[in-house]
Structure 1
Amino acid sequence: MIYCNFELTDLQRDPPAQCSAGPVGEDLFHWQATIMGPNDSPFQGGVFFLTIHFPTDYPFKPPKVAFTTKIFHPNINSNGSICLDILRSQWSPALTVSKVLLSICSLLCDPNPDDPLVPEIAHTYKADREKLLSRAS
């Protein structure tokens, strides 16, 4: 819980561009985050909400992050789960919520169709990127 307080202070002092996050009520292990659709991406102008659940052994285990806003993306499924290596095998205790949110923004700008959570969308992305971009916006 002390580490979650540290994260919150860090986010308030130096928030990542186009992102915000904080606890839901008094529960420091359950946060809500907001990401503004990155400029020059199909998601520009969109507002996306996410939940962040911290395990009791955070930062030694990654937080569980999921979109609550529906999004058409090869690395994000209909349940809001995100296929992002730093939320799985590449997690490091040196990572912060701020870095996670920036990585998710980067994923919105640059999907990874080679590691999809939704293969059909990844196939569309590879075969007809413009079609995917028009469906996402």
Structure 2
Amino acid sequence: MSTPARKRLMRDFRRLQQDPPAGISGAPHDSNIMLWNAVIFGPDDTPWDGGERICFCLSWHKCLVLRTFKLTLQFIEDYPNKPPTVRFVSRMFHPNIYADGSICLDILQNQWSPIYDVAAILTSIQSLLCDPNPNSPANSEAARLFSESKREYNRRVRDIVEQSWTAD
């Protein structure tokens, strides 16, 4: 069944494949275009640089190691008029990310607009990693540390990043 939401998601997918923004990737499940898996690369030179290690062997002597954070996006038939439900699968320590991986981000809530596509959603989430809003906390401990002790906050983020290397 081809609905407006499914047509839009196919268009979003084509755009993401043809012109992917730096540091993000996403695709629908094989059997369900309404459910997507995505990854966000931790921005360079930040505490988020270095998530789960994925190794791609380029030749017998070179290996490219990518560090990613996994997410899911669940769309409803009202998309693009309603935002998807987005959750981190990877464990996160961030002022705007709940323990269940849900994300407190204005464009996924009260500032949603149909002009946002999957690439814009993922790019906004990637930006949120380095530019949290401690005044709208989903994780009060992370928000407090971010505001009061950046050194301790960064250490906790790096601990989570390093733990992701050994997680399933």
Fold shared, TM-score > 0.5 on shorter chain:
yes
User: Structure 1: which 4+ aligned runs deviate by more than 3 Å?
Assistant: none
Residue deviations 1:51-81, cap 9 Å, x none? 0011111000001110000011110011000
- Aligned counterpart, 1:52: 73
**Separation (CA, whole Å) in 1 of partners of 2:71 and 2:155:** 23
- The structural deviation recorded for 1:40 is 2.1
**How far apart are the structure 1 equivalents of 2:125 and 2:45?**
15
Distance in 1 of aligned mates of 2:139 and 2:16: 31
Between structure 1 and structure 2, the one with the greater Rg is 2
SS at match of 2:72: strand
Corresponding residue number in structure 2 for 1:94: 115
CA distance in 2, matches of 1:117, 1:65: 14
Q: Percent identity?
A: 45
TM-score (structure 2 length as normaliser):
0.80
Q: Which residue of 2 aligns with 1:21?
A: 26
Alignment-mate amino acid for residue 16 of structure 1: P
The structure where strand makes up a greater share of residues is 2
* 1:124 Cα deviation after fit: 1.2
Q: CA RMSD in A?
A: 0.8
Question: 1:1-137 counterparts in 2 under 5 A?
Answer: 1-46=6-51, 47-137=68-158
The unaligned stretches of length 5 or more in structure 1 are none
Distance 2:43 2:145 in 1: 21
How far off is 1:116 after superposition? 0.8
Gaps of 5+ in 2: 1-5, 52-67, 159-168
Paired residue total: 137
